[in-house]
């Protein structure tokens, strides 16, 4: 009987025909990206706006700007034109009074005029300053120069010695700074009046990193019983850098301080008394712009029974079934139907069955909420009418038992065993020990695993010590996770734990800069916190697209002025692209070309813009590079303000407190200028507000910029006249720049050295830029004192209110100058030969190993000759081997003169290692006989073999055969290749889920027979892939 006579089959076919008749025509579906379109939460902190606070002025930079606090106010309604004739009358009248009432209190002809530098001025002003009893002295100002004038006692030498002791100039003589090049592993010490030197060992340094949080300098001096020069808390990024240097990744959780002692011996004594970190470190090693990478793997377990979860869709119209099925199939999601809680492929033909189920979600959708979300998005995009979309759970009998077993597993041990296996099989990591317990105790283990428990969730973090090897580990694990569960502890779990790779690329950022860019940084973060397929990166189209998520983040510690900022996510290239965009975002705008904005009232105007744009702008007046840096959300607006400065200069309203006292002006102005004169000056210049507080010695000013400039000229003229009258017995020339002879006054940008002499700023910059030695000398006639290292550093970097994020880049040229000077004066030091390494090689004697390691790149070198390690070869022999002729002769001797000959045509040296006597030259390509050097130009190897047979009786292999016979060696055929792996028996349950959805139970035996017909395992895999590809189409 045929199948057509079967009534049941006939009824089934009628159902199918009726079903097909009811269905609507299939439409082209709207495709939805299969990456979970989740948005990561923001990891950026809410940073408080920059507070306007008093910045402590460092000693080398003080007394070189306006005397008191100044700023910019509103723009006036109308412009006032000064009455110059009236002003000239006032000035002449007051100068006449100064000349009539001023006289010297002692003989200036028998006095010493000592120019005062910033540190000496501060000591005179802030500390009780006194000389020997009966010593007459006074303080006077000549324009921008400040003098201590002392009547000579007994002798000039004794008077100078007394003054030096009172001013404590010894502190200037002991001035020391430390510099360092990137990736050098050494410090460069600059000391006043001495040649620079290299410090490559922490024991030779005066700097010590201690684990402590006691702020008081006296506290440490009391504990170690020695003087401490410097004491500061280390910033958060500095602690991360020290962690990398000492390979200790727990230091950043502790408070660290950097102490500077007067000698290495004091440092060594303190090290024995304090908890410290043995590391060679100074602040100059911290490069804000340097990118640090770290790789981690987050593994999350849900310790609950693993029943089967899916999404149930109840459609509104039965005629949409085929359309909906086709749409989900195009997204690699396949619909099934159930009858009596059992899967039934024929149920879909029943008109009453309108609920379909989806279970075969890929590993991209391990979370139920993600599965529900992608189904809802597909339905919404294609505008299907549905009654309900919900999650459903189908119990699995063994789920509870498997979950109980999984809860007893040591997850950390399981993860580490898997990592060891991955490392070995992929040549990433070969442990020196065999057992996991001993591997954990070894120093070379490249990861750390931490574990936290939250109710039914177990979370583990694998942190890799090296970013490169970490990425290799993670890439291998992600590839395997696409096909099989990785780190699984529950046998009933088809997907395994949730694995999230994380690569972090960071650099340092100051709190000031972070606050200024707060708005732009958050806008950029919002754009990149979504998973999206992009066209520019083909990798985004692969199965690993789920990991291509990224976000910005920053980290700070309480009280730290510096933190880190960067991007986190996956794919190094993807993150590099985002990191470069972030760095471009933080680049400053450079304004240059208007020199008057770099000092005086122009500098006040520039800095007042920070108040105008309240937290959205930070400026730095870079006097060394002669430009202004503008950073922040409002940098573009501030740039336009500076462009309009020249036009608006007359209309800019400002305020200032002018200190009419030493060292800015001669204090006699307070007594010699009439009080009525200040009212007349105010009216002549059109000043809105002018008040002279004689007790405090401060003039309170409010008016336009031009009026302020004129007022400063008047004050300077009064002060100069007082100096002239006080020193009538002695001619003192007005201060001028010793290089360009420009007169130094209030309209000049200048620099005051510690020796007390002044120099125009442009010449100072040129002097530092062109220096070949760090031992700079003041160029004023008769001075000869050295410029202190702190001053050189300060000229380049600027004052304490600078943006410290750019310090390292500013010091690159100085560091190169210091290194060149060290290399030129010290022949026992040499530059490392490794490309892009700034390390130095230093000779050393004694019983230590012959080879040392470069502090920058860790390359091995000989400590005696500073060349690359040369094994057992002596230094003299290694040096000779660098000469071509000697090297060739040495090589010929090592291999035997009979094995090396010259090519008969081009004379290239040819070595014969083995084989017959036919040889071909590697340069001119001729064929020749090794025994007699016979060759025919233009002929191939055939003529050489004919020559060897005819003239020499063979080609040269005859003796080799006799040698095999004499030594009774067995000639064996080559080892056959390993046999191919046999196929495995494939059952329906082990087929890929996508293939199970395509093959109906009625046809499964056909496909299983086809797959199991393969002769090898590789063929079997190819047949499975072929079946899946053909069934989809």
Please work out, in degrees rounded to the nearest 5, the angle formed at the alpha carbon of residue 815 by the alpha carbons of 813 and 821.
105
What are the chain's domains? Answer: 3-30+308-394 (3.30.70), 62-88+590-726 (no CATH), 213-279 (no CATH), 402-496 (no CATH), 499-587 (3.30.1370), 734-826 (3.30.40), 832-871 (no CATH), 884-966 (no CATH), 988-1032 (no CATH)
Instruction: Give the burial class of 538: count Cβ atoms within 10 A of its Cβ; 0-12 exposed, 13-18 middle, 19 or more buried.
Output: exposed
- Residues with Cβ within 8 Å of 887's Cβ and at least 6 positions away in sequence, in order, are 880, 881
Q: How many CB atoms lie within 10 A of CB 87?
A: 19
Residue 1032 backbone class (left: φ over 0; alpha: ψ -120 to 50; beta: rest): alpha
What pLDDT does 973 receive? 40
Name the CA dihedral angle for 234, 235, 240, 241, rounded to a multiple of 10 degrees. Answer: -70
Buried b / exposed e over 744-753, threshold 16 CB at 10 Å, is bbbebbbbbb
3-state secondary structure (DSSP) of residue 244? helix
- Find out whether 652 and 688 touch, Cβ atoms under 8 Å: no
**pLDDT digit string (tens) for 472-487?**
999 999 888 877 888 9
Rounded CA-CA distance 750/764 in Å is 8
What pLDDT does 623 receive? 94
Residue 445 tokens, joined:
């283990």
What pLDDT does 34 receive? 65
Closest CA to 182 of 280, 285, 289, 279: 285
**Cis ω on the peptide bond leading into residue 663 (within 30° of 0)?**
yes
- Residues with Cβ within 8 Å of 623's Cβ and at least 6 positions away in sequence, in order, are 598, 599, 749, 761, 765, 798
Number of H helices, E strands in the chain: 34, 39
- Residues with Cβ within 8 Å of 198's Cβ and at least 6 positions away in sequence, in order, are 186, 187, 188, 189, 822, 826, 829, 840, 842
Closest CA to 551 of 596, 511, 516, 505: 505
Closest CA to 839 of 177, 195, 187: 187
| Sign of CA pseudo-dihedral 901, 904, 909, 914 | negative
Please work out, in degrees rounded to the nearest 5, the angle formed at the alpha carbon of residue 176 by the alpha carbons of 171 and 182.
160
Rounded CA-CA distance 870/851 in Å is 9
Instruction: Give the burial class of 144: count Cβ atoms within 10 A of its Cβ; 0-12 exposed, 13-18 middle, 19 or more buried.
Output: buried
> For the chain, percent helix, then strand, then coil, each to nearest 5?
40, 20, 40
What pLDDT does 990 receive? 54
- Residues with Cβ within 8 Å of 745's Cβ and at least 6 positions away in sequence, in order, are 143, 144, 716, 734
- Residues with Cβ within 8 Å of 793's Cβ and at least 6 positions away in sequence, in order, are 177, 179, 811, 814
- Residues with Cβ within 8 Å of 666's Cβ and at least 6 positions away in sequence, in order, are 140, 141, 718, 719, 722, 723, 726
User: Residue 589 is inside which H or E element, if any?
Assistant: strand 589-592
Distance between first and last Cα of the chain: 35
Closest CA to 615 of 636, 634, 590: 634
- Find out whether 306 and 398 touch, Cβ atoms under 8 Å: no
What pLDDT does 650 receive? 76
Instruction: Give the burial class of 629: count Cβ atoms within 10 A of its Cβ; 0-12 exposed, 13-18 middle, 19 or more buried.
Output: buried
Sheet of 689-693, strands arranged across: 70-72, 653-659, 698-704, 689-693
- Find out whether 42 and 529 touch, Cβ atoms under 8 Å: yes
The crossing angle, in degrees rounded to 10, of helices 156-167 and 118-126 is: 70
3-state secondary structure (DSSP) of residue 284? helix
Rounded CA-CA distance 50/251 in Å is 29
Rounded CA-CA distance 913/899 in Å is 7
**pLDDT digit string (tens) for 455-465?**
888 999 999 98
What distance separates the 2 farthest-apart alpha carbons in the chain?
144
Closest CA to 638 of 614, 669, 672, 663: 614
pTM of the model: 0.77
What pLDDT does 620 receive? 94
Residue 472: DSSP 8-state: H
**pLDDT digit string (tens) for 142-165?**
888 888 888 887 788 888 888 877
Rounded CA-CA distance 250/245 in Å is 12
Residue 1013 tokens, joined:
């017909």
Spell out, as residue ranges, where the chain has pLDDT lower than 50: 1-4, 50-62, 64, 532-544, 961-982, 984
Residue 710 backbone class (left: φ over 0; alpha: ψ -120 to 50; beta: rest): alpha
Within 414-477, strands assigned E span 447-454, 457-464
Residue 201 tokens, joined:
């060992």
Residue 692 tokens, joined:
């002279």
């Amino acid at each position: 009987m045929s199948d057509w006579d079967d009534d049941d089959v006939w009824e089934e076919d009628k159902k199918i025909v009726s079903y097909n008749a009811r269905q609507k025509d299939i439409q082209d579906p709207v495709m939805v990206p299969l990456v979970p379109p989740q948005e990561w939460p923001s990891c950026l902190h809410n940073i408080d706006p920059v507070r306007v606070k008093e910045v402590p002025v460092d000693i080398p930079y003080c007394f070189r700007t306006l005397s008191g606090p100044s700023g910019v106010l509103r723009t006036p309604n109308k412009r006032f034109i000064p009455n110059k004739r009236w002003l000239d009358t006032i000035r002449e009248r007051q100068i006449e009074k100064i000349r009539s009432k001023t006289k010297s209190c002692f003989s200036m002809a028998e006095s010493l005029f000592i120019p005062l530098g910033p540190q000496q001025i501060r000591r005179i002003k802030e500390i009780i300053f006194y000389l020997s009893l009966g010593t007459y002295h006074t303080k006077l100002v000549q324009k921008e120069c400040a003098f201590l004038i002392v009547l000579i006692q007994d002798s000039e030498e004794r008077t100078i010695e007394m003054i030096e002791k009172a001013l404590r100039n010894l502190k200037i003589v002991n001035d020391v700074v430390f510099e360092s090049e990137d990736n050098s592993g050494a410090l460069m010490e600059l000391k006043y009046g001495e040649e620079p030197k290299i410090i490559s060992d922490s024991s030779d340094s005066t700097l010590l990193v201690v684990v402590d949080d006691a702020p008081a300098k006296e506290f440490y001096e009391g504990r170690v019983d020695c003087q401490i020069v410097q004491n500061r808390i280390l910033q958060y990024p500095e602690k991360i850098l020290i962690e990398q240097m000492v390979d200790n990744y727990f230091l950043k959780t502790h408070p660290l301080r950097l102490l500077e002692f007067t000698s290495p011996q004091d440092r060594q004594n303190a090290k024995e008394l304090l908890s410290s970190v043995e590391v060679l470190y100074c602040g100059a090693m911290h490069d804000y712009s340097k990118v640090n990478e770290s790789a981690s793997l987050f593994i999350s377990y849900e310790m609950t029974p693993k029943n089967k979860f899916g999404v149930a869709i109840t459609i509104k119209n039965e005629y949409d079934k085929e359309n909906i099925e086709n749409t989900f199939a195009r997204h690699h999601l396949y619909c099934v139907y159930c009858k009596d809680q059992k899967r039934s492929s024929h149920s879909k033909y029943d008109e009453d069955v309108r609920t379909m189920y989806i279970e075969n979600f890929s590993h991209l959708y391990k979370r139920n909420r993600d599965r529900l979300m992608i189904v809802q998005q597909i339905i919404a995009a294609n505008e299907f009418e549905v009654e309900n979309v919900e999650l459903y759970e189908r119990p699995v009998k063994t789920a509870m038992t498997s979950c109980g077993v999984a809860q007893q597993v040591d997850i950390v041990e399981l993860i580490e065993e898997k990592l060891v296996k991955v490392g070995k099989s992929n040549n990433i990591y070969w442990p020196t020990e065999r057992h996991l317990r001993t591997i954990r105790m070894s120093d070379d283990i490249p990861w750390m695993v931490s574990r936290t428990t939250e109710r039914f969730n177990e979370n583990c973090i694998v942190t890799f010590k090296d970013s490169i090897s970490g990425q290799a580990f993670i890439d291998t694990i992600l590839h395997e996770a696409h096909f099989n569960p990785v780190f699984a502890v529950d046998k009933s779990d088809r997907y395994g734990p949730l694995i999230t790779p994380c690569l972090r690329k960071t650099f340092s950022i100051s709190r000031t800069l972070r606050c200024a860019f707060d708005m732009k940084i958050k806008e950029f973060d919002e754009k990149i916190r979504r998973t999206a397929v992009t066209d520019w990166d083909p990798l985004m189209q692969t199965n690993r697209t789920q990991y291509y998520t990224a976000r910005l983040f920053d980290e700070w510690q309480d009280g730290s002025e510096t933190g880190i900022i960067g991007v986190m996510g996956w794919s190094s290239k993807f993150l590099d692209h985002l990191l470069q965009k972030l760095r471009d975002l933080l680049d400053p705008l450079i304004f240059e070309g208007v020199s008057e904005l770099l000092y005086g009232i122009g500098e006040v105007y520039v800095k007042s813009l920070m108040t105008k744009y309240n937290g959205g702008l930070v400026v730095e007046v870079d006097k060394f590079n002669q430009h202004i840096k503008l950073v922040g959300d409002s940098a573009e607006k501030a740039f336009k303000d500076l462009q309009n400065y020249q036009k608006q200069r007359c209309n800019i309203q400002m305020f200032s407190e002018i200190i009419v006292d030493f060292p800015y002006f001669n204090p006699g102005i307070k007594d010699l200028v009439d009080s009525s004169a200040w009212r007349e000056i105010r009216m002549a210049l059109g000043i809105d507000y002018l008040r002279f507080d004689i007790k405090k010695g401060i003039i309170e000013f409010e008016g336009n910029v031009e009026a302020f400039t004129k007022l400063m000229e008047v004050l300077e003229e009064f002060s100069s006249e007082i100096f002239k009258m006080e020193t009538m017995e002695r001619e003192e020339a007005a201060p001028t720049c010793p290089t360009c002879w420009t007169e130094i006054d209030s309209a000049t940008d200048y620099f005051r050295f510690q020796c007390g002499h002044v120099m125009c700023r442009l010449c100072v910059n040129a002097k530092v830029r062109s220096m070949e030695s760090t031992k700079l000398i003041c160029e004023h006639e008769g001075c000869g004192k050295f410029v202190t290292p702190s001053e050189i550093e300060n000229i380049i970097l600027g004052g304490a209110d600078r943006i410290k994020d750019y310090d390292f880049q500013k010091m690159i040229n100085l560091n190169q100058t210091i290194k060149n000077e060290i290399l030129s004066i010290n022949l026992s030091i040499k530059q490392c030969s490794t490309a892009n390494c700034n390390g130095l090689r230093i000779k050393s004697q004694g019983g230590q190993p012959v080879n040392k390691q470069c502090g920058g790149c860790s390359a091995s070198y000989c400590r005696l000759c500073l060349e690359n390690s040369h094994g057992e070869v002596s230094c003299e022999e290694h040096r000779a081997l660098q000469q071509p002729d000697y090297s060739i002769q040495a090589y010929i001797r090592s291999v035997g003169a009979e094995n090396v000959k010259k090519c008969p045509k081009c004379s290239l040296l040819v070595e014969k290692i083995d084989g017959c006597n036919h040889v071909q030259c590697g340069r001119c390509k001729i064929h020749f006989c090794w025994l007699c050097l016979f060759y025919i130009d233009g002929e191939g190897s055939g003529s050489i073999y004919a020559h060897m047979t005819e003239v020499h009786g063979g080609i040269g292999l005859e003796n080799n055969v006799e040698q095999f016979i004499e030594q009774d060696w067995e000639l064996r055929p080559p080892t056959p290749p390993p046999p191919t792996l046999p196929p495995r028996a494939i059952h329906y349950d082990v087929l890929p889920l996508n293939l199970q959805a395509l093959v109906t139970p009625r046809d499964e035996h056909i496909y299983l027979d086809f797959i199991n017909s393969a002769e090898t395992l590789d063929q079997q895999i190819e047949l499975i892939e072929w079946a899946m590809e053909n069934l989809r189409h």
